[in-house]
């Protein structure tokens, strides 16, 4: 089987699909900064810099030998749709991307691949104005069957509490199933299992820069934030431990005890919180190391996203690398989806 990865970013889905044995021919994304990371880690897959709303449908046929009505072809459409998230965030920046799923549908309509996979934010399936509603109607009208639900990636072996909407569809079988969730005994992959080995993830201090391909680099901390972290109990502590300290307490939290994940430490024996593009900062969530006085490193964030340890992110900017990591679909989640498709196809 082969696939086209629309909105491929740094290659999370491509990595997972290739690990499952599916040939990803091309990844398409508007963000040119992802090109080196995508191509150097996913040999054989070409990065096409393009806005799919302007991309000629025929280009995939002409340049990548993608055929219409190919039963063994998978179209992957994990479009950025933060506009529809359940989280209370500013929608201004994300408004431009809210109809990308419709652009993706046009490619599905033109090529009629045997399979379709989309992953997106929880909430997209509930909003009346969401393009997902029309997309599902289109699938049914055009001979596809589909299965969809919100799945937590921790149930698929990803060491992270990450809820995502997933849909898989096919027109070559009578039914299709999502990857099965393993909820037995709540035995999740924990932070300790993922990044607790100090031989793999050496002890480092805030501000450490790792020039090697391992990229165990850590953001610097101000003296005040370092003091806050030193006063936060290890292994799951929160900023409430220094709420009465006039020097450490922030004005915005003096009358507000919510959002306790901010400045909090991760817990060794739980999956990590959802890795976002801001995971390298202690002030943006529960991203402080359980023991060391620092936020987690770039490599630790990538590992919690289930990227292989030898997956190298190519950029001179640590913030840009963090953005690539945080925006990615966890490769292991993608692999489980690919495995479920292959199992049904065999």
Alpha-helical regions (H) of the chain? 12-20, 35-41, 58-64, 100-111, 131-141, 191-195, 223-230, 298-304, 318-327, 331-345
**78 catalytic per annotation:** no
84 exposure class (CB count in 10 Å sphere: 0-12, 13-18, 19+): buried
**What percentage of the chain carries pLDDT values higher than 70?**
90
Least confident stretch, 72-81, 128-137, 163-172, 250-259: 250-259
Q: Quote the pLDDT of residue 181.
A: 80
Dump pLDDT digits (tens) for 2-58.
999 999 999 999 999 999 999 999 999 999 999 999 999 999 999 999 999 999 999
270 exposure class (CB count in 10 Å sphere: 0-12, 13-18, 19+): middle
Binned at pLDDT 50, 70 and 90, residue 127 comes out as: low
Q: Quote the pLDDT of residue 83.
A: 45
Binned at pLDDT 50, 70 and 90, residue 249 comes out as: confident
Q: Quote the pLDDT of residue 246.
A: 84
* Owner of token pair 């994990």: 78
Is the domain defined by 2-181+329-345 classed in CATH 3.30.70.141? no
Q: What average pLDDT does this structure show over 169-191?
A: 87
Q: Quote the pLDDT of residue 256.
A: 61
Which residue among 15, 34, 81, 252 is the active-site one?
Answer: 81
Q: Quote the pLDDT of residue 81.
A: 60
pLDDT over 50 at 89, yes or no: no
Question: What pairing do the DSSP bridges indicate for beta strands 46-49 and 73-77?
Answer: unpaired
pLDDT over 70 at 71, yes or no: yes
pLDDT over 80 at 259, yes or no: no
User: Mean pLDDT score of the chain, rounded to an integer?
Assistant: 91
Handedness of CA 36, 42, 47, 53 (dihedral sign): negative
Binned at pLDDT 50, 70 and 90, residue 185 comes out as: low
pLDDT over 50 at 186, yes or no: yes
Binned at pLDDT 50, 70 and 90, residue 243 comes out as: confident
45, 32, 42: which is closest to 307 by C-alpha?
42
């Amino acid at each position: 089987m082969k696939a086209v990865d629309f909105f491929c970013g740094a290659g999370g889905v491509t990595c997972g699909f290739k690990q499952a044995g599916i040939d990803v021919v091309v990844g398409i994304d508007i963000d040119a900064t992802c090109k080196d990371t995508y191509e150097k880690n996913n040999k054989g897959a070409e990065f096409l810099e393009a806005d799919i709303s302007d991309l000629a449908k025929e280009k995939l046929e002409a340049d990548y030998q993608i055929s219409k009505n190919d039963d063994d072809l998978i179209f992957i459409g994990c479009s950025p749709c933060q506009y529809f998230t359940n989280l209370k965030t500013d929608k201004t920046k994300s408004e431009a991307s809210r109809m990308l799923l419709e652009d993706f549908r046009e490619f599905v309509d033109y090529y009629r691949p045997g399979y379709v996979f989309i992953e997106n934010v929880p909430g997209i399936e509930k909003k009346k104005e969401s393009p997902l509603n029309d997309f599902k109607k289109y699938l049914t009208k055009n001979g596809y069957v589909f299965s969809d639900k919100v799945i937590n990636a921790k149930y698929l072996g990803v060491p992270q509490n990450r809820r995502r909407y997933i849909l898989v569809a096919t027109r070559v079988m009578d039914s299709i199933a999502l990857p099965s969730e393993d909820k037995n005994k709540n035995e999740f992959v924990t932070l300790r299992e993922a990044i607790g080995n100090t031989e793999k993830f050496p002890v480092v201090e805030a501000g450490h820069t790792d020039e090697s391909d391992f990229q165990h680099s850590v953001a610097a901390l101000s003296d005040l934030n370092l003091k806050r972290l030193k006063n936060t109990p290890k292994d799951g502590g929160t900023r409430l431990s220094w709420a009465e300290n006039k020097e450490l307490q922030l004005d915005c939290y003096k009358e507000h005890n919510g959002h306790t994940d901010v400045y909090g430490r991760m817990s060794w024996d739980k999956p990590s919180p959802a890795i976002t593009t801001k995971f390298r900062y202690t002030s943006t969530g529960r991203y402080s190391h359980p023991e060391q006085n620092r936020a987690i490193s770039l490599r630790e964030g990538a590992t919690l996203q289930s990227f292989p340890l030898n997956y190298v992110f190519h950029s001179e900017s640590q913030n840009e690398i963090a953005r690539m990591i945080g925006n990615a679909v966890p490769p292991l989640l993608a692999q489980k989806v690919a495995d479920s498709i292959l199992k049904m196809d065999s």
